[in-house]
Amino acid sequence: NCHLSPGHHPSRNGVITTDELSRYYLIIMVDLSVTLAGVPLTSCVYNASGPRTGSSAAMSKIAKSASGGVLAKSATISSQKGNDLPRTWHEDNGKASLNSEGLPNSGIDYYIDPKTVSETMGESPTKPYMVSISGKNIADNLQMLQKISSTIESGSMNIAAVELNLACPNIVGKPTIGYDFEQMEDVMKQVASLPCFSGSKPLFPLGVKMPPYFDRPHFEMAAAILNKYKHIVSYAASINTIGNALAIDFHAEMPVIRAKGGFAGLSGAAVKYTALANVKQMRELLDNSIDVVGVGGVQTGRDAFELILCGATAVQVGTCHWTEGPGCFDRICDELKTIMKDKGYGTVEDFRGKLKEWSKEGVALSRQMKMASKKSSTSGETQLTSSNNNSSLIIAILFAIIAVLLADKLNIVSL
């Protein structure tokens, strides 16, 4: 009998029969639910602010999916149309996307209106509804936070959390706050001075959307500021798009994006590895009281698994939701559950932040698993080929019988 314990694939500890494996799977009830910044999520996978989040009609589809919650479009004080079209682009192979939307949205009043929330959440009142804000300046952000506070205090609706966008690189002429550490310090100081954060406990959990960092000193400076304000910062979402990317229309010899000379934020599968590194480093540097949300390049359950392995409490999906629609949440969650079952994990906490150090043993195990997978695939193809050959033979025999019967019926031959 092999020993089975969470964190170990059955095949790593010896031979196990199909029946034993089935019983093992029945014992392990995979649970994707997590608590993010004190907010219960029905699944660790939910939507990023941006794609398909501008209206209650769009957000209601997220609420009906396997997404653990609903995060609204990043709001400004007033509604705005955003940059000129075309402002988005998707590479044909699906590996990368660009956007320079300029924050088109319906304004903060729309996203905190009880009617909007009711239309969004519908029959999913157990899921949290969260708001994202991205003012053009600190004054706008402070005003929106005060509006949200007033709405919550009035008791007219429940806003589970607020995400403050410090990472939007797409507004013409505006700096990215997350790269200007002096400005970032000033923003956090002014936010902390608001009445909603001045008590012993914040009125609501506050998250911050961070830009991608590439140098260790920058990680350290950003984390130091967030740690300084850990009494108000509940989570950090990392990463936003990688700014100032450029894609060219080969035939027209021009940028594919109209605004800002074609420069735009890079997202999709291409940014996954930058996201993994950012999540890993932010988790190492941030105070344990601040959760990390992994964002960037999540297209599969494996992508989500890897971000959680690096320390993310939850994972947001943006570009994939944009291109595939809300059905992506069901698929990604199912894939993640399968991975957890295969590895013997029952909950997200079983593997969160438990990325192992590189080792020769790990390389050997990886090689063994790849060879086993390749062998299984080859075996499956052989069986399929054999099955196809058998089917072809049966069809040929049937055609021959039909031909003989027809010939007899037409008196061409006599049986």
Sorted by sequence, the CB contacts under 8 Å of residue 201 that are 6+ apart come out as: none
DSSP H or E segment with residue 154: helix 138-154
The token duo for 244 is 């100032």
Give the 3-state secondary structure of residue 212. Answer: coil
From 168, 196, 310, 333, active-site residue? 168
DSSP H or E segment with residue 322: helix 319-324
Q: How big is the CA angle at 166 (ends 245 and 286), to the nearest 5 degrees?
A: 105
Cα gap 281→263, rounded to integer Å? 27
The helix, strand and coil proportions of the chain, stated in percent and rounded to the nearest 5, come to 45, 15, 40
Phi, psi (rounded to 5 degrees) for 70:
-130, 125
Choose among 183, 241, 246: nearest CA to 210.
241
Give the 3-state secondary structure of residue 130. Answer: strand
Choose among 63, 99, 135: nearest CA to 270.
99
Active site residue 168: yes
Contact indicator for 15, 284 with CB cutoff of 8 Å? no
Active site amino acids: 168
